[in-house]
């Protein structure tokens, strides 16, 4: 096995959604570097409809926090308390004049950003349960631009574990407060012809 494969495998398997962060600022330069690599992600017809709004300012972060929802299956247990909140957000935005179907580009970009941040020890929570109207207004995102997804980011303050799914996809916390994330078994999802 090549060293590259080992490194990438480690990054892929260690990535878990993080919802507890430590109070340590992320350098702007790290985010610029990560986004300039995410810029190279695949894009349908190479249209590249995505752009990014990075929120690091403390007052703006407090506002963002009001408009996102955490861990539906275990709410309110997955909501980060004061001092454990994200130290940044990346809003991923599309431009309808460039592409009307940016969703697959979005997945490619968000995943690339997530793995690059993982490699820097920074955790991510993809946030789809958001108040798009409120966040768009806060960040000045207006037509033809459209807010697609928010990534909450920060240095990790928890270590969730992955396990084979038995009978439910619902993640849960154990008695020690560790988050367990069930994944479907390989034999249940792959068919080789
Ligand atoms: C498109 C998408 C939207 C998501 N939205 C939210 C969200 O609004 N709030 C939240 O706490 N987690 C959200 N998540 C995180 C999922 O709950 C998480 O990925 C899932 O439980 C599997 O955990 P894992 O990422 O550690 O493998 C979202 C994930 C994806 C891919």
pLDDT above 90 covers a percentage of the chain that reads 99
- What distance in angstroms lies between residue 124's CA and the mean position of ligand 1's atoms? 9
Could you tell me if the CB of 85 is within 6 A of ligand 1? Answer: no
The pLDDT tens digits of the residues spanning 61-100 come to: 999 999 999 999 999 999 999 999 999 999 999 999 999 9
Q: Just give the CATH number of 160-193.
A: 2.20.180.10
- The span from the CA of 68 to the CA of 12, in Å, is 25
Q: Mean pLDDT throughout 127-138?
A: 98
Runs of H (alpha helix) within 15-68: 28-38, 58-65
Q: Mean pLDDT throughout 165-177?
A: 97
| Average pLDDT of every residue of the chain | 98
Could you tell me if the CB of 16 is within 6 A of ligand 1? Answer: yes
Q: Judging by DSSP bridges, how do beta strands 172-173 and 145-155 pair with one another?
A: unpaired
Q: What pLDDT, on the 0 to 100 scale, is given for residue 166?
A: 96
Could you tell me if the CB of 128 is within 6 A of ligand 1? Answer: yes
| Paired tokens of 175 | 């008695």
Q: Just give the CATH number of 3-159.
A: 3.40.109.10
pLDDT above 70 covers a percentage of the chain that reads 100
From the CB of residue 113, how many other CB atoms can be counted at a distance below 10 Å? 24
**53 band by pLDDT with thresholds 50, 70 and 90:** very high
Residue spans of the domains in the chain: they are 3-159, 160-193
Residue 69's φ and ψ, nearest 5 degrees, are -120, 135
Q: Mean pLDDT throughout 154-173?
A: 98
Residue given tokens 């080789």 in the structure block: 192
Residue 60's φ and ψ, nearest 5 degrees, are -65, -35
Angle (deg, nearest 10), helices 103-119 and 3-14: 100
| pLDDT of residue 1 exceeding 90 | no
Question: 32, exposed or middle or buried, with CB in 10 Å at 0-12, 13-18, 19+?
Answer: exposed
Ligand 1, atom nearest to 183 Cα:
27
| pLDDT of residue 18 exceeding 90 | yes
- The span from the CA of 17 to the CA of 126, in Å, is 7
């Amino acid at each position: 096995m090549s060293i590259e494969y080992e490194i990438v495998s480690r990054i892929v398997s260690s990535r878990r959604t993080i919802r507890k962060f430590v109070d340590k600022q992320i350098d702007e330069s790290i985010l610029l570097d990560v986004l300039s690599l995410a810029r190279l992600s695949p894009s349908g017809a190479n249209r590249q409809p995505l752009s990014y709004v990075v929120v690091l300012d403390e007052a703006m972060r407090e506002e963002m926090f009001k408009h996102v929802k955490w861990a539906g299956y275990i709410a309110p247990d997955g909501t980060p308390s004061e001092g454990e909140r994200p130290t940044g957000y990346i809003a991923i935005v599309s431009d309808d004049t460039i592409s009307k179907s940016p969703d697959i580009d979005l997945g490619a970009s968000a995943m690339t950003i997530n793995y690059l941040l993982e490699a820097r020890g920074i955790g991510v929570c993809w946030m789809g349960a958001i108040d798009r109207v409120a966040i768009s207004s806060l960040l000045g995102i207006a037509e033809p631009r459209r807010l697609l997804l928010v990534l909450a980011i920060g240095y990790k303050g928890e270590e969730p574990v992955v396990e084979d799914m038995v009978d439910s996809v619902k993640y849960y916390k154990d008695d020690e407060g560790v988050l367990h994330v069930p994944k479907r078994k390989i034999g249940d999802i792959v068919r080789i012809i």
